Amino acid sequence: MGFFSRLFPKMPELETERLKFRSIKRSDVKDVYEYSSNPRTSQYLLWSPHTSVEYTKKFIDIILAKYKIGEYQDWAIVHKESKKMIGTCGFTRIDEQNKVAEIGYVLNPDFWGCGLATEAAKRVVQFAFENLGVNRVEAKFMYGNDASLNVMKKIGMKLEGYYRESIFVKGKYKTVGVASILKREYVLQNKYN
């Protein structure tokens, strides 16, 4: 059992002005397939577009099994106004010993460009510092994904640099960027907001 699941046996529900955060459910299959089958969604991600609703159902079943054993810390993001599940945001890695959390997010392209990824990521960073007690939150992105880097900068992260051609994905070597925010930076940033 991981650090997160020891603290929170059940995924806590979170909220922002426009979003609700909850566990992913089987009933999300239509919404998950909608964005996961869109090539724009996964252009800068490690996975390829979902090819069928059946594939998405199996994907959700894997997530549900991982929730049970404490190996999955992503929330479903629900857009309050439309009541639609529009993506995920959460932790891709938690290093308990060094007090580091890595976040990731995926959003339906129909909801790009209106600050929702920033709103979601900001809430997860807040949760990391205030509920998990970490000292550092980081995020990674594939070179060229300027929109994701902009989200990281908007939530107070600083670009640290690039791992040149560090992963082989979809038949090509890709360069990965890393950005982070430290607890003291987060505290200072929120002192004046």
Please state the domain count of the chain. 1
pLDDT at 3 over 90: no
Q: What is the pTM of this model?
A: 0.94
Model confidence pLDDT, tens digit, residues 142-185: 999 999 999 999 999 999 999 999 999 999 999 999 999 999 99
Model confidence pLDDT, tens digit, residues 7-42: 777 889 999 999 999 999 999 999 999 999 999 999
Q: Which domain holds residue 141?
A: 3-191
**CATH number of the domain that residue 183 is part of:** 3.40.630.30
Higher pLDDT, 10 or 49: 49
DSSP for the chain? --HHHHH-SSPPPEE-SSEEEE---GGGHHHHHHHHT-HHHHTTSSSPPP--HHHHHHHHHHHHHHHHTT--EEEEEEETTTTEEEEEEEEEEEETTTTEEEEEEEE-GGGTTSSHHHHHHHHHHHHIIIII--SEEEEEEETT-HHHHHHHHHTT-EEEEEEEEEEEETTEEEEEEEEEEEHHHHHHHHH--
